[in-house]
Amino acid sequence: MPVELSPSQALGLWHAVSLEQVRVDKRDLTLRQISILLQIYLVPPPHTVRGLAGILGVTKPVITRALDTMGDLGLVTRVRDERDKRNVIIRRTVDGALYLEKLGDLIIDQGRKLPI
């Protein structure tokens, strides 16, 4: 059941959500960080640094730094993989789930408010 959007609806939705998110939340995540966060929470685990780097098309240090920052913000955690100790498994947190839950609500709300 796809979602059909007009050009004005598409950008209008992005506009309203981005604006409200900026107003509500002090944390100014980059698009990369948001992508990582959504990937971790919407796609079944396990998630590794290398895997995320490949999916986003960026280098590994980019992922490491994003995880550092979002870790400080409490949005994700890292745990060593005990089966292969070279790997690090990225795990979800309650705060991260809450952050995305609010974002989802925001998208739904702003979608309802769209004109035309």
Partner DNA sequence: AAAAATCGAAACGCTTACGTAACGATCGAA
Partner DNA sequence: TTCGATCGTTACGTAAGCGTTTCGATTTTT
3 binds its own copies (CB under 8 A): yes
Q: 46-72 burial, b for 16+ CB within 10 Å, e for fewer? A: ebbbeebbeebeeeeebbeebbeebee
Q: Is 21 in the site for its own copies (CB under 8 A)?
A: yes
89 binds its own copies (CB under 8 A): no
Nearer residue to its own copies within complex by CB, 54 or 74: 54
The three-class DSSP label of residue 66 is helix
Residue 39 binds which of DNA, its own copies, none (CB < 5-8 A, kind-dependent): its own copies
Residue whose entry in the numeric block shows the structure tokens 């992922």: 63
77 binds, options DNA, its own copies, none, Cβ within 5 to 8 A by partner type: none
What character string, x for contact with its own copies (CB under 8 A) and - otherwise, covers 93-112? -------xx-xxx-xx--xx
Q: What is the dihedral of CA 36, 61, 71, 21, to 10 degrees?
A: -40
Q: How far apart are the first and last CA of the chain?
A: 21
- Applying CB under 7 A, the residues found at the interface with DNA are 26, 28, 30, 32-33, 48-51, 53, 58-69, 72, 78, 83-88
